[in-house]
Amino acid sequence: MPTIAPNKNSQPLDWSQIKTVLLDMDGTLLDLNFDNVFFLETVPNAYAKQKGLTFNDAKDTVLGIYKKVAGTLAWYDLDHWTKELGMDIPLLKEEVAHLIKVHPHVIDFLTKLKEKKLATHLVTNAHSRSIELKMARTPIGRYFNTITSSHDLGYAKEQKKFWPTLNKKIPFNPETTLLVDDSEPVLKAAKNYKIKHLRHISTPSSQHEGKVSDEFVSIDDFYEIM
């Protein structure tokens, strides 16, 4: 596990104040290495083969295509990529599915939440086909009261309207809710909706050094808030 400087702002969570837990999937519960390898290696490689390009040329082209939709729902939409790139993206994901891994102490953490009978919801920008693949490859699915994909709500988690829309689907009081996410734009949108307890994941990928947030309290491992 990469070592990072301890966060000066680190503060323990007051669990007596928390009734609902909202958890992100990729980078938070699961190792982002899978998604990084998929988008930066697997897809460019398949694109190179399909178009008769070198890997580097294919990667430049593919990164340019990604940039157009960064931060929007389309970025997370496998059907969008299947159409845009002319490749069976869900099938391609299966090829690297062995890289799907649960972060350390996540199962212990989820088990504790279940023991404490805290309402626990998975809230992700991932597309339903990605969620299905990850639920099939990991044991995390059984720990959630509900699983919500932002595609079903019509807004990405980075967007302000996502949070009130989610709250219509899942009853929670922002005052007594904890959100853990590796995305600062997502945490900002949740803060704007007055979700009180926020934690940032500083090490989304096991293969990259962690980076603590300037704005939010970061954790490197769920062990820190258990």
The one among 7, 22, 26, 218 contacting Mg ion by CB under 5 A: 26
The region of 26-34, 70-78, 140-148, 189-197 touching Mg ion under the rule CB under 5 A is 26-34
Measured from the CB atom, is 46 or 131 closer to Mg ion? 131
Q: Which residues, 6 or more positions from 224, have their beta carbon under 8 angstroms from its beta carbon? A: 10
Report in angstroms how near the CB of residue 57 gets to Mg ion at its nearest. 29
Burial class for 139, CB neighbours closer than 10 Å (0-12, 13-18, 19+) = exposed
The region of 10-18, 41-49, 73-81, 177-185 touching Mg ion under the rule CB under 5 A is 177-185
Measured from the CB atom, is 20 or 28 closer to Mg ion? 28
Report in angstroms how near the CB of residue 179 gets to Mg ion at its nearest. 11
Angle at 216 between CA 214 and CA 219, to 5 degrees: 100
Measured from the CB atom, is 25 or 119 closer to Mg ion? 25
Residue of 29, 23, 34, 10 lying closest to 212 (CA atoms): 10
Q: Are 111 and 140 in contact (CB under 8 A)?
A: no
Taking CB positions, which residue lies at the least distance from Mg ion? 27
Residue of 137, 119, 104, 135 lying closest to 28 (CA atoms): 104
Kindly identify the residues of this chain, within the stretch 5-24, that bind Mg ion according to CB under 5 A: 24
Roughly what angle, to the nearest 10 degrees, separates helices 162-169 and 184-192? 70
The one among 31, 35, 77, 182 contacting Mg ion by CB under 5 A: 182
Measured from the CB atom, is 27 or 44 closer to Mg ion? 27
Q: How many residues does the chain have?
A: 226
Report in angstroms how near the CB of residue 204 gets to Mg ion at its nearest. 6
* Interface positions with Mg ion (CB under 5 A): 24, 26-27, 182
